[in-house]
Amino acid sequence: MARKGQVSIQDTVETNEEFQEYLLEHMDQLICMEVYSDFCGPCLATNNAIRKGKLEIGQDRIAMGKALADQIDVLVRFRGKSEPVFLFIVKGKLTRAMFGANGIELCRIIEEELAFMKQELETGIERPKQPIEELLPEESEKIEMELKQEEEAHQARERIRILTLAARKKRVAERMAKDLTQLNYIIYWPHCHQAHVDLYEKWDLINIQVGAKETIQLTEEMVPEALYMSDVEPNEACVHALLSGEVLVVLFKMFDTDTRNFVKLLRYTLYEEIPVPKEDVPPEKQVPLVPAYERYAAVSKTAREVRRQRYEAKLEKLRLEKEEQERLAAEQARLAREAEEERLFQEKKRKEEERMARIQAGLPAEPEPEPGEEEVEGEGVGEEIVEEEAPEVVEEEQEDHEKVVEEEEVFHSDVSVEGEDYIPPGGLFVPGLYAPPNELAKANGLAFFFPKVVQQITTLESEHLPPHVLVMFSVDKRHEVKDAMKQFPGDIIQAGIFMGEDPYAMEHVAFTIKQYDQLTRLRKHRDRLALMVSRKRSNALLTLAGLNPCYISSDLESGERDCLAMFPVGYGDEYVEEESVVEEEQVVHEDDDEEDHGDD
């Protein structure tokens, strides 16, 4: 409650009715209305500027107010925002807005607005104003700038994410490549499966074996994985051909005692080696004297050539269908003739048997026709039917032929047809086969196409980490935290000891608690044990949170940024923790004790 004689500097407006009454009540004054949200309250940093604007600058010419945006409809666009907003209102209309807690700028704008009001009264010329619910030009500009900054920040985060994934992927490939020296593979495009059969004898000549085969229907999302770090240009025609059917992927193995570089061996065989002509093969059947890679490569056809090819294939299909129809019609006619001949034969046989029976009975061979009965001749009926059907078949054939001729006259290969299949650009290089050009591409491809085989040799890793957060403890709790870490070994992705408070400006001290304990450096109160903790399961994080950490990432997005700053890609890869002689003896004694307990 205000004390007696105290002047009200800033009035509070909380409802629609109060807001409208306030505008009407101060129609002849300049209104400086501070807009705030309920969750953060009015700005405290501008209190002195508000007091100066009211008591020293504006006095009776200005009304200072503060409005709660959460309950006033015309201020809906300011809800949920923590940034201070000051609206300047003249005669119920909006003239200007200021964003931010800048007291000096607020006083300057108050002086300018009062000068504009005085000028309007003197000249009678009103300055442009607009309804309070509409955006001012500076508001629109600010919103566009914020959206632009948000988009730039999003793009920057996306670039960092992509670069981080690429670095992790390279690291994973490097780790797997060391154990996959005896394996390699070849990808055959859908239209070049025959190349594997043609080249089969080469594998015996270079002393390698086929280990496995897979036919896979690739998708656009799978192409970057299949061609990771390759020398293949993934142009539109190349990718279209790769996705047009199932690719054939063949796994090759070298003997364990073979020390040759498998990548160079297969690349030379396919990309450089020129086949030697065979003496016992005629010239027209000789293999072209070019490397296998060039032999099976092609250049994409133009749209005109593709349409012509499709049209010719369509005509060929129609021709084959027509031939099949003609064959079926001829077969049906033949069966009909044979059935008719069989009927006539049986009819003749029956009449002959009746005739012989009459003769044996002493009756005339042919029965005398009854008066008025017309002789019905069965012979020739079937033939007339066949002869009647024949012209109809001929007419249908003529109609089909005229239809094909008409289509040939209408077709134009330069005109695209609505609904036709996609045609990639012409003149682009399309390989028929591919072998990885380096160890990293080979390791990634083997893990992608033959994960079960790779898993039998080495550990399969992924560049995609589970959702994670950063948890930090004071270094004094390191042994207590270490005991908790042993309960969830699969959920602690990384760990280390650093010095500092800010995750983005900390200095690395040690990779492990053991290394930290062995340091001769004096311990400092700002030393922190940092953990990258998986959020895939909640047990580990809940247990660690019960140990009173000094920092936990606020959410998963912040956790990913925090952990990347603390644990860059490849963190700790080169560090190898050595066990002392005393520790090795302790391990041996612990093993012996366990055996003794087992015997008991």
pLDDT digits over 313-328, tens only?
Answer: 888 899 999 999 999 9
Position 581 pLDDT exceeds 90: no
| Res 189: pLDDT | 95
The CA distance from 480 to 543, in Å, is 11
- Residue 82: closest CA among 113, 49, 120, 36: 36
Q: Are 24 and 56 in contact (CB under 8 A)?
A: no
Report the percentage of the chain scoring pLDDT > 90: 52
More confident residue, 327 or 5: 327
The CA distance from 288 to 285, in Å, is 9
Position 405 pLDDT exceeds 50: no
| Res 276: pLDDT | 75
Position 34 pLDDT exceeds 70: yes
pLDDT tens per residue, range 247-301: 999 999 999 999 999 999 999 999 998 877 777 767 767 777 889 999 999 888 8
| Res 474: pLDDT | 93
Over residues 121-139, the mean pLDDT reads 86
Contacts 24+ apart (CB under 8 A), 380-387: 382/336, 382/337, 382/340, 382/343, 382/344, 383/340, 386/333, 386/336, 386/337, 386/340
- List Cβ neighbours of 155 (8 Å cut-off, separation of 6 or more): none
Helix or strand or coil: residue 242? helix
Find where tokens 């002789």 sit: 375
| Res 485: pLDDT | 92
Q: Are 565 and 530 in contact (CB under 8 A)?
A: no
- What b/e sequence results for 252-274 when a residue is b if at least 16 CB atoms lie within 10 Å of its CB, and e otherwise? bbbeeeeeeebbebbbebbbeee
pLDDT tens per residue, range 136-166: 888 888 889 989 999 999 999 899 989 999 9
| Beta-carbon count within 10 A of 429 CB | 13
pLDDT tens per residue, range 194-226: 999 989 888 989 999 999 999 999 999 999 999
Q: Are 225 and 449 in contact (CB under 8 A)?
A: no
- List Cβ neighbours of 8 (8 Å cut-off, separation of 6 or more): 2
11-134: CATH number: 3.40.30.10
pLDDT tens per residue, range 477-524: 999 999 999 999 889 999 999 999 999 999 999 999 999 999 888 888
Listed by start position, the domains of the chain span 11-134, 180-277+288-300+430-439, 306-358+400-408, 468-574
Report the percentage of the chain scoring pLDDT > 70: 86
The alpha-helical segments, DSSP class H, found in 136-254 are 137-177, 194-198, 200-205, 223-226, 236-243
Confidence class of residue 380 from pLDDT cuts 50, 70 and 90? very low
| Res 599: pLDDT | 52
Q: Are strands 93-99 and 429-430 parallel, antiparallel or unpaired?
A: unpaired
Mean pLDDT for the chain overall: 85
Over residues 51-55, the mean pLDDT reads 90
Q: Are strands 62-68 and 30-36 parallel, antiparallel or unpaired?
A: parallel
Over residues 222-243, the mean pLDDT reads 92
- What b/e sequence results for 543-582 when a residue is b if at least 16 CB atoms lie within 10 Å of its CB, and e otherwise? bbeeeebebbbeeeeebbbbbbebbebebeeeeeeeeeee
Confidence class of residue 123 from pLDDT cuts 50, 70 and 90? confident
pLDDT tens per residue, range 248-260: 999 999 999 999 9
Q: Are strands 11-13 and 62-68 parallel, antiparallel or unpaired?
A: parallel
The CA distance from 58 to 8, in Å, is 14
| Res 376: pLDDT | 47
**Angle of CA points 362, 365, 366, to nearest 5°:** 135
| Res 422: pLDDT | 76
Position 41 pLDDT exceeds 70: yes
| Res 122: pLDDT | 87
Position 386 pLDDT exceeds 60: no
Question: Chain centroid to CA 201: how far?
Answer: 40
Fold of 180-277+288-300+430-439: Alpha-Beta Plaits (3.30.70)
* Whole-angstrom Cα Rg for the chain: 45
Position 22 pLDDT exceeds 70: yes
| Beta-carbon count within 10 A of 71 CB | 15
Position 592 pLDDT exceeds 70: no
Over residues 378-385, the mean pLDDT reads 45
| Res 401: pLDDT | 52
Over residues 545-567, the mean pLDDT reads 92
More confident residue, 458 or 360: 458
Q: Are 566 and 498 in contact (CB under 8 A)?
A: yes
- Residue 33: closest CA among 75, 70, 77: 75
Position 338 pLDDT exceeds 60: yes
The CA distance from 582 to 590, in Å, is 12
Position 537 pLDDT exceeds 70: yes
Q: Copy the structure tokens of residue 143.
A: 């919103």
The CA distance from 562 to 144, in Å, is 29
Is pTM, for the whole model, over 0.95?
Answer: no
Helix or strand or coil: residue 567? coil
DSSP 7: P
**Angle of CA points 464, 506, 499, to nearest 5°:** 120
CA distance to 10, 90, 303, per residue, from 64 (Å)? 5, 12, 72
Q: Are 430 and 237 in contact (CB under 8 A)?
A: yes
DSSP 285: G
Helix or strand or coil: residue 15? coil
CA distance to 99, 154, 222, 238, 479, per residue, from 297 (Å)? 63, 41, 22, 10, 62
| Res 105: pLDDT | 92
The CA distance from 19 to 12, in Å, is 9
Q: Which residue(s) pair with 508 in the sheet?
A: 498
Find where tokens 């908790």 sit: 484
